[in-house]
Structure 1
């Protein structure tokens, strides 16, 4: 399958799991974090007014069912303005950008920031077994709160509000959470989102005390097996592009497991002061 054919599939899967993470928040959690979500122009816009991480204000999934236009970007900017968001990141696959994107992004003050790499693997090419001395298995609902706090601690994010948001989202039928245990202790966690023919890997984090013990690769393998069992044809993931001379262990783990870079996706930062 060519990039132009698979880009809409994997971009849509990513947009949907992000939408469900933030939309699942209970009313009290949504008030605490200042969460508002919207579907705009075939994509999703996610606002979190009280986000201290810089991660949760983002808009993505555009260009799949409707073209990316100046009017669409204006609607997205208006959404974040109304929500009093401190800023936001727009994520659009390069093959889905319009020819006049340079003019559109200048008009709305969008500035390039750290790019991400989108990776994809044919489900038959991704490893479904990886040895580790940790115990890796699917997470039962009773452990959803523990899974949520483990992911956030692994990413260095605060747990207040966000842990409740994550735990609520895991009840969505498309999510398949997994974790790695060292004895009775959960030390790494990851999620799979099944969206049609795509299994989207996300929320993979290992506690600092247990890094370099094969948890990430084992969690990729476990989720690949689950995606195959769910009838997925493709496995996708996204991670940051390492700076020159640096290494991104997550990127290396994904590549060793059988996923291949599909494209580099520039992140575009929107600021209320710059639009």
Structure 2
């Protein structure tokens, strides 16, 4: 059964905080607010990551609706917080929570506009049927040493967020190989009762060979073996192959995060 969207959103915010602590650079400023005019939002600040795209800009506010304590004044304080740090563009990631229309109104009142180029769905899987896949690639779990050795061959396919958490407790890393050459990556982390599928990428020259479906299957199997009651992944609607692969593996959409941009 798909969990309540608000309950899942709150758990995903806790997961995001924990994953950030494990895989993001030490230079990332992370702040968690409890109560007051900022409610319980989680904030990250990175002067070096002010790109125009929400997925790659690490200047973010994670909100779950209009939680107790949050107010219109709180949104103004958040803007001042980023401006004081020298940030000229940040994004609010709004997930399900109480009084969503009120939260949307506060954001728009202070000049934030919703990004509608694409959507940002959170998908979950609660069934236990094996995930079918078909590939001629070898897919297996890899160690931190193997990941380091693969860096030259994978190039930009080897995301920094994938390598930083290699070897850490509760993280499991996988690769797909064509003979001995690594061509695709993916990771799993286990948090509370959730198995979180993350950091998937395939070298362009080896796409459409079933690598990602096989990597999903391996991670689902590992998470279920570890006792996870639910598996979760996040993607974008515009990455159609990722969205379809997750659906084929039994993932269903739980909610869509709303992304709002503030630009000085």
Q: Normalising by structure 1, what TM-score?
A: 0.78
Correspondences of 1:148-167 after superposition (within 5 Å): 153-154=156-157, 163=160, 166-167=162-163
Deviations 1:108-146 (A, max 9, x none): 321111321111110524x34523111111120102335
Correspondences of 1:227-246 after superposition (within 5 Å): 227-242=223-238
Aligned to 1:250: 242
Instruction: After TM superposition, give the deviation of residue 4 of structure 1 in Å.
Output: 3.4
Instruction: After TM superposition, give the deviation of residue 222 of structure 1 in Å.
Output: 0.8
Aligned to 2:122: 118
For structure 1, the 5+ residue unaligned runs are none
Tell whether 2:2 aligns with 1:4.
Answer: no
Deviations 1:67-120 (A, max 9, x none): 444354344433322332242222121345544123310233211113211111
3-state SS of 2:119 partner: strand
Kindly report the root-mean-square deviation, in angstroms, between the aligned alpha carbons of the 2 structures.
2.9
User: Within 1, Cα distance between the matches of 2:215 and 2:9?
Assistant: 24
Say if 1:10 and 1:198, in contact at 8 Å, map to a contact too: no
Tell whether 2:82 aligns with 1:80.
Answer: yes
Say if 2:137 and 2:176, in contact at 8 Å, map to a contact too: yes
Say if 2:5 and 2:96, in contact at 8 Å, map to a contact too: no
Say if 2:174 and 2:215, in contact at 8 Å, map to a contact too: yes
User: Within 1, Cα distance between the matches of 2:190 and 2:106?
Assistant: 33
User: Within 2, Cα distance between the matches of 1:183 and 1:145?
Assistant: 18
For structure 2, the 5+ residue unaligned runs are 35-39
Aligned to 1:137: 140
Instruction: After TM superposition, give the deviation of residue 206 of structure 1 in Å.
Output: 0.5
Q: Which moved more, 1:165-174 or 1:193-202?
A: 165-174
Q: Residues 153 and 112 of structure 1: is their aligned pair in 2 closer, same or farther, counting only changes over 3 Å?
A: same
User: Within 2, Cα distance between the matches of 1:226 and 1:72?
Assistant: 41
Aligned to 1:223: 219
Q: Normalising by structure 2, what TM-score?
A: 0.81
User: Within 2, Cα distance between the matches of 1:190 and 1:264?
Assistant: 22
Residue 31 (structure 2) aligned to one of 21, 28, 38: 38
Aligned to 2:93: 91
